[in-house]
Amino acid sequence: MLIAQISDIHIRDHLGMFGGLVDTSKTLEKAIQLLNALDPQPDVVLATGDLTDDGTKEQYSQFLEIISALNAPLLPLPGNHDDYSEFLNAFSSTLPDEIPEKHCSYVIDNFPVRLIALDTSLPGQHDALFSEDHELWLSRVLSQEKEKPTLLFTHFPPFETGINFMDLSGLKSADRLEKIIRNNPQVKLVVAGHVHRPIQTSFASTLISVCPSTGNQLKLDLNPKNGSAVDEPPGFQLHLWKNDRFVTHTGIIWDGKELDMSQYVAYVNEKISKNEGIIKD
C-alpha cells in the first residue's frame, strides 16, 4: 500500500505574513501534478492540517477546486490555521458519518493498513491538547483492531523538534498519547505536519515522520532565540507499506534537471535475475 501525505498547504487569498515567499495555490497544483504522475499511484492522500491560512469559506473553496484534480482519494485533517466549522462544511461529503462531538478524529478501515485521523487542535488557538476525551476515543478505536497494522495521522508532532518557537505552540499532554501508542504496537507509524520540515524520531513503540509543507518551509535553525520562514522547495511524503514495515520517502517539488537511468535499471535487473555480479563502469 502506498500512502501519500501533504501538509501545511496554507491556501491564501491575500499575501499575509508569508505570502511573499511562495504562491501556495501554485505549489499545491504542482504537488498534485507530481502525485498524479506517480507509478504506482498512491492509494490515498493524507492532508495533515493547515489546509488554509485563515479558515475562510473562500479559501476552502479555492482548496477544493485545486484538489479536485487529484486522482487518489483525500483524507483531510484540520490544523491550527483551519476553522473547525468551515472545515466540517467544506468536507461534509468526504468525512465519515461518525466523528466525535468535539474533534474531527475518525477511522478508515477499507485499506490493508488501518488509518486513524487524530485531531488535537484547539479552536481559536495555535497550540494543541491531547485531552482525556482524545485519550478515551483513541483507546477505544485501537482496542477494536489489535492485529491490523495501523497508521495514525495528526497535525501536531507529539515531541519537541528543537525548533523552539514551534515547540511552544505544540501538543500539550503528549505523554498520554505516548502511553497509548506504547500499549498498541499495531501502530506502525505516526505522521504529522505543523513544523514545515521533514523530521523523524522514535516515539513509544513506533516511529514518527513529520512532513514538509507544500508551501514554504521553516528554516533549519535550532537556536531557541531564532525563527524564520524560507522558500526552500515544497515537499510531500510517501509512506510505503511493504513486508510488514513502513518505508518513508520525502519528495521535493522542483523544476530541475532529470537524468534518465532506465537503461541502467534494466541492466541491473537483468544481472540480478541471472544471479550475476554487477560490473562497475
Whether residue 280 lies inside any domain: the answer is: no
pLDDT higher than threshold 90 for residue 272: no
Cell of 36: 498524479
Alpha-carbon distance of 42 to 34, in angstroms, equals 11
One DSSP character per residue, 2-27 reads EEEEE----B-SS-TTTTTT--HHHH
Alpha-carbon distance of 209 to 153, in angstroms, equals 10
Asked which of 88-92, 192-196, 243-247, 269-273 is least confident by mean pLDDT, the reply is 269-273
pLDDT band at 134 (very low <50, low <70, confident <90, very high): very high
Q: Whole-model pTM?
A: 0.94
Residue with cell 517539488: 253
Domain with 257 in it: what CATH number? 3.60.21.10
Look at residue 191 in the predicted model and tell me its pLDDT: 98
Whether residue 278 lies inside any domain: the answer is: no
* Nearest Cα residue to 82 out of 55, 46, 59, 122: 55
Residue with cell 501556495: 24
pLDDT higher than threshold 90 for residue 267: no
pLDDT tens profile 188-199 = 999 999 999 999
Alpha-carbon Rg for the chain, nearest whole angstrom, is 19
Alpha-carbon distance of 48 to 153, in angstroms, equals 7
Whether residue 254 lies inside any domain: the answer is: yes
**Mean pLDDT, the chain, whole residue set:** 93
CA distances 227 to 18, 135, 218, 223, Å, are: 13, 32, 8, 8
Q: Is the model more confident about 124 or about 39?
A: 39
3-state SS, one letter per residue, for 229-260: EECCCCEEEEEEEECCEEEEEEEECCCCCCCC
Q: Give yes or no for a contact between 157 and 199, defined as CB atoms under 8 angstroms apart.
A: yes
pLDDT band at 17 (very low <50, low <70, confident <90, very high): low
Q: Per-residue pLDDT averaged across 175-203, rounded?
A: 97
Whether residue 281 lies inside any domain: the answer is: no
pLDDT tens profile 203-216 = 998 999 999 999 99
Whether residue 80 lies inside any domain: the answer is: yes
pLDDT tens profile 48-106 = 999 999 999 999 999 999 999 999 999 999 999 999 999 999 999 999 988 998 999 99
Whether residue 229 lies inside any domain: the answer is: yes
Q: Is residue 234 reached through a cis peptide bond, with omega within 30 degrees of 0 on the bond before it?
A: no
Alpha-carbon distance of 181 to 204, in angstroms, equals 6
Domain with 51, as residue range(s), is 2-273
pLDDT higher than threshold 90 for residue 15: no
Query: How many structural domains compose the chain?
Result: 1
Q: Give yes or no for a contact between 36 and 222, defined as CB atoms under 8 angstroms apart.
A: no
Whether residue 250 lies inside any domain: the answer is: yes
| CA 227 and chain centroid, separation | 22
Q: Per-residue pLDDT averaged across 160-186, rounded?
A: 96
Asked which of 44-48, 54-58, 176-180, 268-272 is least confident by mean pLDDT, the reply is 268-272
One DSSP character per residue, 73-117 reads -EEEE--TTS-HHHHHHHTTTTS-S---SSS--EEE-SSSSEEEE
Whether residue 279 lies inside any domain: the answer is: no
Alpha-carbon distance of 188 to 90, in angstroms, equals 30
